[in-house]
Amino acid sequence: MDLMRTISIAASGLKAQSGRMRVIAENIANADSTAATPGADPYRRKVPTFVNSFDRELGAHTVTLGRIRPDQSDFRTRYDPAHPAANEEGVVKLPNVNSLIEQMDMREAQRSYEANLNLVTATRRMISRTIEILRA
């Protein structure tokens, strides 16, 4: 049944966006963390990837959360010689997480999640109405 296939495809999108939101939430939670020892690297931002694969059982392409890779951009730095994580020059390395970018990514993931959820809801409503018509 094509409607069940539609629900399965949307469910794969829900699961992928849910995983993406977990990664973004972890980035936001660690946006201000520093290294445990002086001169060490702080938290490095994580970037989720997606994998498009063909599901033979469904006969359709689905999406899954792929490898979560570290963002290789430079760390932010701040001069604070009194900080416990400061190196010999008094510079503290801060995570390469930009809270504004993370918030925008989170909003995009939420909207994608909501779109997939709306698709599941509409499909379920169509199935229910079809059953009602068949009963009449």
pLDDT along the chain (136 residues), means of 10: 87 96 97 88 96 90 95 94 90 95 97 97 94 92
Rounded Cα–Cα distance for residues 17 and 52 (Å): 13
pLDDT of residue 43: 96
Rg of the Cα trace of the chain? 22
pLDDT at 1: 56
The CA distances from residue 87 to 32, 38, 128, in Å, are: 17, 5, 64
> How far is it, in rounded angstroms, from Cα 118 to Cα 127?
14
Residue 20 · residue 14 · CB < 8 Å: no
Q: Write out the residue range of the structural domain in which residue 91 sits.
A: 2-135
Which amino acid type is present at position 58? L
Helix 2-29 × helix 99-135 angle, to 10°: 160
Tell the residue number behind the tokens 């068949």, with chain if given. 134
Nearest-angstrom CA–CA distance, 57 and 68: 27
Q: How many domains does the chain have?
A: 1
Tell me, what's the pLDDT at 74? Answer: 95
Query: Which is nearest to 63 in space by CA: 71, 72, 73, 55?
Result: 55
